[in-house]
Structure 1
Amino acid sequence: MGTGLTLEQTPLQRITLPNNLTIRNISEIYSTVGEAFTSSFSLCLDIPAGAQIDLSFVQMIEALRRQARDDHKDLTLAGPVQDNLATILRQAGLWDGLEADDKKFWLHEGVAQ
């Protein structure tokens, strides 16, 4: 079963995620992203516009952020969150409590574009 994940081999490894970022395939996505992280110092996730997203995706991202922090690696998003992901962050109660590093990660606040 293909999920639509594509990997680019560059100094900064970029992963283009599939359109379905839900509980149905989050385990496979996590495995692929985790595998890429073991061989890369810096990983950038590209979330397609209009992707289907649920809370399992946010949980996966937060787990990867903690792993990156613990392993002294860099995890970024290709761009600031779109409305669909912002809605999930709000529903999860994470939006209002975003700290500076969270705003940098999710919203790209303070990031040179």
Structure 2
Amino acid sequence: MSDEFQDSVVRFSGNVNISNIADAHGILLAALEQNNSITIEIDDLEEVDLTFVQLIESARRSAAEGERSIALRKAAQGAVLQVLQRGGFLDPEERDRTNFWLQGANQQ
């Protein structure tokens, strides 16, 4: 997993899966401790699994509880979008979550 944390932007690239999810967790935690708002870039992710989506969802909820925010720079696509679709994370009834991942786009 190649990642980068700079200012309030966290960039993930390569593979983020169960074998390295602890690293991704540490990066997000550090970013949230240093910033009230972070933006996550996921464009360069090649392979992800459900643990990545769960991590982002958990971080998003925790941030909201602490009056902080997390946003995606662009709507989910590629490997991330596939995991979201397979995992049932794009339920139209869950507008907040679906809007977060798709940024209001009519994709599914």
Question: How far does residue 59 in structure 1 lie from its aligned partner after superposition?
Answer: 0.7
Cα distance in 2 for partners of 1:33, 1:14 equals 10
Quick check: 1:19 aligned with 2:17?
A: no
- With 83-92 and 35-44 compared, the bigger mean Cα shift is at 83-92
Quick check: 1:62 aligned with 2:57?
A: yes
Aligned residues: 105
CA deviations over 1:65-100 (Å, ceiling 9, x no partner): 110111011101110000321211121122234522
**Residue segments in structure 2 that go unaligned for 5+ positions in a row:** none
Secondary structure, aligned partner of 2:13: coil
TM-score by length of 1: 0.83
The answer for the alignment partner of 1:29 in structure 2 is: 24
Task: Please give the residue correspondences for 1:61-80 in structure 2 after superposition, counting only pairs within 5 Å.
Answer: 61-80=56-75
CA deviations over 1:15-41 (Å, ceiling 9, x no partner): 111311111111011011111101100
Contact 2:12–2:45 (CA under 8 A) maintained in structure 1: no
Secondary structure, aligned partner of 2:2: coil
Secondary structure, aligned partner of 1:72: coil
Contact 1:86–1:95 (CA under 8 A) maintained in structure 2: no
For the aligned residue pairs, the C-alpha RMSD in angstroms reads 1.7
Secondary structure, aligned partner of 1:67: helix
Percent identity between the two aligned chains: 26
Cα distance in 1 for partners of 2:75, 2:93 equals 14
Which structure's residues are more often strand, by fraction? 2
Question: How far does residue 53 in structure 1 lie from its aligned partner after superposition?
Answer: 0.7
TM-score by length of 2: 0.86
